[in-house]
Amino acid sequence: MSSNFNTANSAGNGGLLARASRGIEDSIADLGSLSLEWVAGFGSIAIFFWRMLGWLFTRRPRMETLLPSFYQVGVLSLPVVALTGTFIGMVLAVQSYAQFRGLGLETRMGAVINMALFRELGPVLAATMLAGRVGSAMAAELGTMRVTEQIDALASMGSNPLHYLVVPRFLACLLLIPALTIMAVFMGVVGGFFYSTYFLDIDTFHYLDNSRKFVGAYDLFIGVFKSLFFGMTIAVLSCYRGFHCRPGAEGVGQAATAAFVHSFVAIIVLDLFLGILLDEIHQMIWPNAVSLL
């Protein structure tokens, strides 16, 4: 009886071990397959981008394809970017007031709000709005064209879909996102100033003087420079998602969602690395730059 029990017990342990090792193997295999998918996905996006660049530099896009994209990306995005920029400036004033008041540095709020807007919030906000408003729409539009064979029809008539559909959208995002960023920054600065001076009763002269002292052309350059990368990323990822849309209404919906989510993640990751790079450059050029405190 005892011997039987031991045998059963050891067999049970063996089975458990085998199951555990199979589980680990499966997990490693899943991880490997996921990594392969990621690498293949990056490769596919890189090839898509490279081929699009080939068309961009070798054949000028037609005005009739450029203007609607510019209108969609620039003109129609402007109001929402301006509105959100204004409120972000005011929110920054609300949130930082208590902290700065405790230190008796309320007048320095202008420097903090404006620097945050110039360097980070302006470009990220404009890019997020663009990804949400334009990126998803581009993915859905191109996805629908893919599903209904309109992209195949375009190719069958001797037009390259990358040249006809992607290049104008890419140029519109690349060239107009700096303008949207500047608008977001400007409205944020106005919103922050208005709230600080009108509602929080901060001295106008010192608020502006501190802003002028600590925020300069390089900060604006940082915002605009970052925005160019954000614009490119949004256009490429959104168009890629649309071009590789799965069939059916569900596929189009997934493409639109993926375009926004992937663009947003890429914006945040790029923001970090570009921020580090541009700060290093700033340190190299102006090692003794003034600090806020």
Q: Which residues make up the interface to another protein (CB under 8 A)?
A: 51, 54, 148-150, 152-160
- 153 vs 249, beta carbon nearer another protein: 153
Q: What are phi and psi of 157, to 5 degrees?
A: -95, 15
Q: How many angstroms separate the CA atoms of 110 and 182, rounded?
A: 17
Token pair 């054949």: residue = 59
Q: What are phi and psi of 206, to 5 degrees?
A: -70, -35
Token pair 């919103």: residue = 191
Q: How many angstroms separate the CA atoms of 198 and 191, rounded?
A: 10
- 144 vs 210, beta carbon nearer another protein: 144
Minimum distance from CB of 70 to another protein (Å)? 16
- 104 vs 158, beta carbon nearer another protein: 158
Minimum distance from CB of 168 to another protein (Å)? 13
84 touches 129 (CB < 8 A): yes
Minimum distance from CB of 156 to another protein (Å)? 4
- 149 vs 279, beta carbon nearer another protein: 149
Cα–Cα nearest to 173, from 130, 128, 223: 130
Minimum distance from CB of 157 to another protein (Å)? 4
- 35 vs 159, beta carbon nearer another protein: 159
CA 5 from centroid of its chain's CA atoms: 62
- 156 vs 288, beta carbon nearer another protein: 156
Of the chain, the end-to-end C-alpha distance in Å amounts to 81
- 143 vs 191, beta carbon nearer another protein: 143
Q: How many angstroms separate the CA atoms of 226 and 123, rounded?
A: 7
Minimum distance from CB of 63 to another protein (Å)? 12
Token pair 């997020």: residue = 128
Minimum distance from CB of 261 to another protein (Å)? 24
CA 180 from centroid of its chain's CA atoms: 14
CA distances from 107 to 19, 195, 244 (A): 66, 13, 52
Minimum distance from CB of 240 to another protein (Å)? 17
